Chains A and B, each alone.
Chain A
Amino acid sequence: MPSDTRRAVPAPVPMPERPFEEPWQAQAFAMAVHLSETGLFTWAEWTETFGTVLSMARTAGRPVDGAAYWEHWVTALEMLLAARGEAEKPALEALKEAWAEAYRTTPHGTPVRLGAS
């Protein structure tokens, strides 16, 4: 538990509230749900991993709320998939760079695809 427990809880926001601020957050959310439904991991394994990532971030004094929450979600997904041998770091790094390159080289108005070059 952090020693600073006096911070005010943000004021309640009237509903309805959009659950995701950006599409990647929704995709990351859906991947975790989907992979738990198809049995790659259980939801309990997911919450344990995600909880660990959040608490490590908190201990390190890094932000855990808002957009940071979803970044930690992605980190937990990468960790759990790496532990299952399904997502090695070099493969992910290469794909990430390939996507960035695809955005840089695809003209406006054209759908961005991998491997178009």
Chain B
Amino acid sequence: MALFEGLSAKLQDITAKMRGKSRVTEQDIKEMMREIRLALLEADVNFTVVKELVAEISEKSKGVEVMESLTPGQQVVKIVHESLVDILGQTNSKLLVSPSGFTVIMLYGLQGAGKTTTAAKMALMLKKKGKKPMLTSVDVHRPAAARQLEILANSVDIPCYIQPEEKDAVKIARQAVDRARYLLCDTLIVDTAGRMTIDTEMMAELKAIGKVVNPTEKLLIVDAMIGQEAVNVALGFDKEIGLDGFIMTKLDGDARGGAALSIRKITGKPIKLICVGEKIDAIEEYYPDRMASRILGMGDVLSLIEKATANLDEKKAAEAFDKLKKNQFTLEDMLSQFEEVKKMGSIKDVLSMLPGMGNKAIPDEHIDEKAIDRSAAIIRSMTKKERHNPGILNASRRKRIAAGSGTTVQEVNRLIKQFEETQKMMKQFSGMMKGKGRMPNLGFGKRGFPF
């Protein structure tokens, strides 16, 4: 997908060309809107929604004053992001509870959307919140569908009512309600068979089941990978049944999930939960801003900028810079830099905020969250004297430091080498710029980066 790598990368290309301009021209906007349109379409946002959205964004972007710290491209990205969050967000997304004390949640969806797994996940989530849920499957079509639900229910010790031999879904539904009441459960989750909205017979079955169980909460399960049809699917179910909201599944995949935007914009109904894995507890609350970033494939650049500025201690940074200039950068200063970096959150979080990284998710095994901790521990195991004068670090001292910090001598050596290189680099740097200018890239330059 090299062609459509991610919106922010594209917009950065465009804005690179307009660096130095204080205003965004009509032509720039037009070019950017084209990229935005493509990015949204590649993310499977419905075409009609894209058209409306791009028109709005274009209007908002015209004549935008460029803020001091942001480039015009970022400014536009911000507008896009805000527009998306606007559509994706607001409305209360809490699950409805029946005032009668007996809540029925009914799940609908196309074949293979993930209804059965989601039903079990919801039941476990409610159980953890102190509810007493029961599960039932009225899927009389897919072989072993009911058994699948029963196995999942058993694995988390939640009652489940199934009738694998019964072919009448309405009958099973009626019996399930009776059973749930008999067991004094306060919530019944009804898993239905997957169906297409154009299948009138199957849609009629849903209505018949609905009459019997009288659902409090009618939720459509939507696969995050779904394409342009998302809107018609949502509208189809909503028209026939009257949905209360949506659950997005398979968000642990790398699909952008543009369907979330489409169905929010077209139906106005809330997204209540998201599913993010195959494990039975992989169900989460839904955050509009995260979804927006995901759809744009941009990584959360804005949060990253905000996080960096909010967390960096300006005074400390200025001090370190001052020392650098005077060539007094010590291990002590390196340590305080590690601490600054740590403040920005886990490396994985920070990396995922970088554009182009967002959805690609670096495999966990490639990230060493503890690298900074270990480096910091090594410095902390040094005496004050050693920190200010690393020249005295002979073999026996290094051995002691390794033992003290729970690392190896090799790691200690590597850190000291890193420090020396940073120092060397900074020496050249301070020679180059006499005092003036912006904060240099202190210890985290290419060679100085501790991981």
Partners in one complex: no
